[in-house]
Amino acid sequence: MVKIRLKRLGYKKNPTYRIVVIDGRCKREGAPIEELGHYNPKTKEMKLNLASAQEWVKKGAQPTATVTYLMKNCDEEGKLIYNKKETVKLSKKAQAKLEAQKEAEAAAAAEAAAADEAQVEASEANE
């Protein structure tokens, strides 16, 4: 089975990866069929030949979960679109705090709308 996966490069505690098409039975650092691009997880820098990757997927190559994520989150030029707010998962406490904050903002907006409405009615009554 042909896979699209990451090939680790770089030195200790400073990884960089090449996105490669490789036989699934080969080693991680084995000889690739084709190199599609590179990815640096520390700087979030990526270059990917997306058209070629999609062609390989059409031919039956299976991308790993990480490569699927990278393919989904890159633009037409093959650069990673990194939005920290969308990718960060919050803890349960942080989620509860965020929901409480949103509810408080909604309640404040409703109070402000009610106060504006009461002010308009008062001004119409005075005229």
Residue ranges covered by each domain of the chain = 2-84, 89-127
Q: Enter the pTM of the model.
A: 0.61
Asked whether residue 41 carries a pLDDT value surpassing 90, the answer given is: no
pLDDT digits (tens, 9 = 90+) for 105-117: 999 999 988 888 8
Residue 79 has a pLDDT of 79
pLDDT bucket at 82, cuts 50 / 70 / 90:
low
According to DSSP, the β-strands at 45-48 and 34-40 are antiparallel
Residue 124 has a pLDDT of 79
CATH number of the 2-84 domain:
3.30.1320.10
From residue 89, give the alpha-carbon distance in Å to each of 78, 95, 98, 121.
Answer: 25, 9, 12, 46
The residues near 8 (Cβ < 8 Å, ≥ 6 apart) are 15, 16, 17, 28, 29
pLDDT bucket at 89, cuts 50 / 70 / 90:
low
pLDDT digits (tens, 9 = 90+) for 50-75: 889 999 999 999 999 999 988 888 88
According to DSSP, the β-strands at 34-40 and 14-23 are antiparallel
Residue 117 has a pLDDT of 85
Residue 119 has a pLDDT of 84
Q: Among 13-17, 49-53, 104-108, 121-125, which stretch is predicted with the lowest mean pLDDT? A: 121-125
Closest CA to 20 of 74, 75, 59, 64: 64
Contacts 24+ apart (CB under 8 A), 20-24: 21/56, 21/61, 24/62
